Chains A and B, each alone.
Chain A
């Protein structure tokens, strides 16, 4: 077929909607997030002492970490879902790491040295790993489906960012249940839960997001 003819077909098809990366991400976060939230309230539910700890600095550190990570990950997924995306990480992606480091500093400064190891281990590390991954799953699937409409320069990098975003949303929900408030626990187990999600995202993204 001549290219002119193909162009005519494309022109005739111009009214069909296209999806922008931002919209793809917001929709998957909303849809996956609702499913994950329903699962959360069915299986886990909010910790009973939430009101009491809500304004403690350790809980706020946890909240700041997950929300910073969600913000950074949304930005990264959107940016990386474009064909002309730059490969380098931007400085602001270090924000969640900075929150984590500040939290660890505060914990080490205020807690007796002998307790630190126990605080890092926490009460429910395996529950944490398991549920963050489980709560991340709906968002993960929704993101991989929606991002197929985009054109990432590097499908695996975009997928990795999507995996971390899904994990961050799982972590945000889980943090409402989790009673391990130490930033040391956060830096160990939350981060350990997020890493395989980023890896899975890179793996699936590399296969599913090619265009």
Chain B
């Protein structure tokens, strides 16, 4: 367990230094872990949640709040806490109050593949509702897989403006999904 934990923390530290590959890897592994936990947890209490939506909300929160992880601490408890928060949110939105016990999150190593590979889901719908510049940039990066440099060329923007639009778009997505403010 500690070896695995070190591996995650090392990836996240590298990501914090700007290592794109490390960030991609750790987010992918986190997604798999959260997916397995949310699926089991939702099934266990007969709750209807879109598992992939919760996974994506968790990833958004992890990305935007990554400053709240301390580099000398293990990553997994922090990820579990965020996933739990997002699952509770999703269940609450379904109109039922749920207390999520911490145990199912405690020792989960299962990694599960996503059900959905195409488009659809809450995040996709919300991207459509973003202000036009943010929408174009988020789509170009997320759907067409372009680099910020390429997006800048395509949309006749500076790279800095692309970064700003992307970041604002991501923040807005996270806010709108959470239904807070």
- Whether A and B are associated in the same complex: the answer reads yes
A interface vs B, CB < 8 Å? 1-16, 18-21, 23, 81-84, 149-151, 153, 208, 210-211
The CA-CA distance from A108 to B145 in the complex, in Å, is 73
| Cβ-defined partner of B52 (8 Å) among A3, A9, A210 | A3
The CA-CA distance from A13 to B64 in the complex, in Å, is 10
B131 within 8 A of partner (CB): no
| Cβ-defined partner of A211 (8 Å) among B117, B118, B127, B178 | B178
**Binary interface encoding of chain B residues 143-181 relative to chain A, with 1 for a CB under 8 A from any of its CBs, else 0:** 101011000000000000001001100100000001011
Number of interface residues of B (CB under 8 A): 52
The CA-CA distance from A207 to B42 in the complex, in Å, is 26
Q: Which of B59, B60, B141, B147 has the most CB of A within 10 A?
A: B141
Q: Which of B56, B67, B81 has the most CB of A within 10 A?
A: B67
A7 lies within 8 A of B59 (CB): yes
A151 lies within 8 A of B82 (CB): yes
The CA-CA distance from A129 to B86 in the complex, in Å, is 40
B81 lies within 8 A of A12 (CB): no
Can you add 13 more A-B contacts, CB < 8 Å, to A6-B60, A82-B78, A151-B61?
A: A1-B119, A2-B119, A4-B28, A4-B114, A6-B142, A9-B141, A9-B142, A12-B147, A13-B163, A13-B166, A14-B18, A16-B167, A83-B85
| Cβ-defined partner of B67 (8 Å) among A1, A12, A21 | A21
Distance from A210 Cβ to chain B, minimum over Cβ atoms (Å): 5
Chain A residue numbers with a CB within 8 Å of B143 are 1, 5
Chain A residue numbers with a CB within 8 Å of B96 are none
The CA-CA distance from A179 to B56 in the complex, in Å, is 57
**Binary interface encoding of chain B residues 14-28 relative to chain A, with 1 for a CB under 8 A from any of its CBs, else 0:** 010010100110011
The CA-CA distance from A151 to B85 in the complex, in Å, is 10
A8 lies within 8 A of B85 (CB): no
B interface vs A, CB < 8 Å? 15, 18, 20, 23-24, 27-28, 31, 52, 55-56, 59-61, 63-70, 77-78, 80-82, 85, 114, 116-121, 123-124, 127, 138, 141-143, 145, 147-148, 163, 166-167, 170, 178, 180-181
B23 lies within 8 A of A11 (CB): yes
Chain B residue numbers with a CB within 8 Å of A5 are 142-143, 145
Chain B residue numbers with a CB within 8 Å of A208 are 181
The CA-CA distance from A201 to B138 in the complex, in Å, is 36
B170 lies within 8 A of A150 (CB): no
B23 lies within 8 A of A2 (CB): no
B81 lies within 8 A of A84 (CB): yes
Chain A residue numbers with a CB within 8 Å of B68 are 20-21, 81-83, 150-151
